[in-house]
Amino acid sequence: MNVKNKKTDEKDNSKPLTINHIFMKYASKFVKKRCKFISEDRKILTVFQGYKYKKLDTIDYECLQMYFDLIKETIAAEKKSRAAIVLQGRQGIGKNRFTDMIAELTSRYSCSNITNIDEFTGRFNSVVENIMFAVLNEMMNYNDPKKGVATVMKSIISDLTIRINEKNLPRKTVENVMNIIYVTNADIPVQLDTDDRRNLICACKTVHKVSEEHKEDIEYFNELSQSYSQEFYENLMTFLLERDISQFNPTLIPMTEAKKQQINVSRSPIDDVIMEHYERFKQGIPIALVNQ
């Protein structure tokens, strides 16, 4: 880009002024101290530039009611921070309808359908940088013990910083702003320790199901999809931004029945032996008996 016949270089009147010339001369004006996802410091580059939908002065709750009914009846959603929500239930009951809305609200900073855990735990993991919300949809290798998936996922779920390895670029440490919801039809979606503090397991109720036997539910979901208008998203955004969560403690994750079942099926054979003979272990077992 050249700017001719208007202004020229101070040292050489015959040289046209270019964008590169301006940048080199005033480079200090473009330099930032560092980069953060959100910062009020003008000297720090802020990645987050606002949501896709605007905040309204008032909320039209009637516009949101059908979506709230889906959450209440099917998902019974819990809030999440530094923990992952696992939505477990039958196929076609509307689990993704819940996550699709959040992904749309955070569309510039979200991944709505990640199906391979290698995007998180593989050699290159730049997908997690500056992402507020990610949906893990039927992960094919989520429970792969050979790759240390569980350990890496614990870090992604709870740590405030994360190391990013992008192809052909040096490694760097960045803020970890990612929140995760895992959507699955599997009976055993995740392996959990007995003292797990990072996963909220929600067993989704089958209230509506898309199938030939339930054609009325197909009409229900069609109507639900048609309600997702600009007005709906702006009302939902306003509702979420104005909701008071100051008393919410994200570290107190409920021990749901679904989570108890996941912990039970995740036990190792050694855990089963210890639980079966716990009282005897407390009293002590003679060495002669152990050597038999």
Q: What is the rounded average pLDDT of the residues 230-241?
A: 86
* pLDDT reading at 290 higher than 80: no
Residue 66's pLDDT is: 67
- Considering the entire predicted model, what is its pTM? 0.68
Q: What pLDDT digit, counting tens, does each position of 137-187 carry?
A: 876 655 555 445 667 778 888 888 888 888 888 888 888 888 888 888 888
Query: Cβ neighbours of residue 3 under 8 Å, at least 6 residues apart?
Result: 16, 17, 18
Quick: pLDDT tens for 71-91. Answer: 554 444 333 346 788 888 888
Domain boundaries for CATH 3.40.50 within the chain:
61-267
- pLDDT of res. 143: 57
Mean pLDDT score, 213-217: 72
Please report which helix (H) or strand (E) contains residue 270, including its range.
helix 269-276
**Percent of the chain scored above 90 by pLDDT?**
0
253-258: long-range pairs with CB below 8 Å, 24+: 253/78, 253/83, 253/197, 253/198, 253/199, 253/200, 254/78, 254/200, 256/200, 256/201, 256/202, 256/203, 257/203, 258/88, 258/201, 258/202, 258/203
| CA-based nearest residue to 264, from 255, 254, 251, 252 | 255
Confidence of residue 10 (pLDDT cuts 50, 70, 90): low
Query: Per CATH, is 61-267 categorized as 3.40.50?
Result: yes
Per-residue pLDDT at 131 exceeds 80: yes
Question: Tokens 């052909």 correspond to what residue?
Answer: 168
What's the confidence (pLDDT) of residue 146?
44
